[in-house]
Structure 1
Amino acid sequence: MLEPTALLGAWTLRRVVEDRLAGERRDVVGRAVLDLAAPDRVRWSEEGTMTWAGRSVPVSRTLHVVRTGAGDTGWEVRFSDGRLFHPWSVGAEVDHPCAPDHYRGRVETEGDPVDRWTVTWTARGPQKDYTMVTVHTPA
């Protein structure tokens, strides 16, 4: 399994959100930086600009990918406040139940070393119905 440390560095981020509930598309262009915050902790920071329907707003978030201690390959993604988001499992579907909606995601990589990686999330439920695809390429 590919560890998050293989993605350290700066990446150009392009995100498309197809919001079926709102009937609109939102685009984000920005930058993601993954850096080693501690030996077993990768900080994943994103910032950019979201545009849709003639509007534009700045967006940002910080996640942390933390070694779980479950062997040498166990990692999980956590929100900036420490709450669990999902297991780090490149190439496999992961779930994030967030009542009343449910999120299903996947991280995929290309190249060795990685020269492109994609994060795809689908959210479904009474309050959300969208697919979000984020493509990262070297900055």
Structure 2
Amino acid sequence: MGRISLTEFVGKWRLTRDIQEHTGGITTFSGEAVLSESDAQLEYRESGRVTLANSKTIHAERIYIWRNGLNGQIDVYFADKRFFHSFSADKPYAEHLCGNDLYKVTYDFTRWPVWESVWQVKGPRKDYTMVSHYAPL
């Protein structure tokens, strides 16, 4: 797939997520991600219901900021403006070190506008795989 611009992500996306712990427990998320334009960047806001491995459900929200980066990449920042990672359709992978825990992501845009991200997280505090599926609403 060629380049994907920030503006192509604008809108509402159905978001489902499975988090597989190395111990075998599975946590799921069901909700939506809304990407809205603001000052030449996008605010990514996801909200929904998390079902923990013990069947308890809780509400969850998360915010990121997406900006145009170098060479057609999209730079992702935490809500507090700390850099998180960069990706593009041509380079659909990234890494982020958080303390001693390493986060590796691979994006798949081959079925655009349906897309997914797969995070492999390993370290002394975390060990899981998280698969997120996005589809336009």
TM-score (structure 2 length as normaliser)? 0.89
| Match of residue 20 from structure 2 | 18
| Match of residue 129 from structure 2 | 131
Taking only the aligned residue pairs, the percentage that are identical comes to 27
Q: Is the 2:16–2:31 contact (alpha carbons within 8 Å) kept by the matching residues of 1? A: yes
TM-score (structure 1 length as normaliser)? 0.88
Change (3 A) 1:93 1:74: closer
Counterpart CA distance in 2 for 1:76 and 1:132 is 20
| Match of residue 62 from structure 2 | 61
Please give the residue correspondences for 1:12-91 in structure 2 after superposition, counting only pairs within 5 Å: 12-21=14-23, 23-39=24-40, 41-52=41-52, 53-68=54-69, 70=70, 73-90=72-89, 91=91
- For each residue in 1:37-92, what CA deviation from the matched residue of structure 2 results, as whole angstroms up to 9, or x when unmatched? 122x1111100010022200111101011123x35x24310000000110122352
| RMSD of equivalent CA atoms | 1.5
Q: Which residue identity lines up with residue 60 of structure 1 in the other structure?
A: E
Gaps of 5+ in 2: none
Counterpart CA distance in 2 for 1:61 and 1:131 is 18
- For each residue in 1:85-112, what CA deviation from the matched residue of structure 2 results, as whole angstroms up to 9, or x when unmatched? 101223522000112110000222144x
Q: CA deviation at 1:8?
A: 1.0
Counterpart CA distance in 2 for 1:75 and 1:93 is 11
Gaps of 5+ in 1: none
| Count, aligned residues | 133
Q: Is the 1:65–1:88 contact (alpha carbons within 8 Å) kept by the matching residues of 2? A: no
Counterpart CA distance in 1 for 2:95 and 2:130 is 14
Q: CA deviation at 1:11?
A: 0.7
SS in 1 for 2:102: strand
Q: CA deviation at 1:7?
A: 1.4
Q: Which one is further off, 44-53 or 86-95?
A: 86-95
| Match of residue 7 from structure 1 | 9
Pair 1:120 & 2:122 matched: no
Q: Which runs of 4+ in 1 moved over 6 A?
A: none
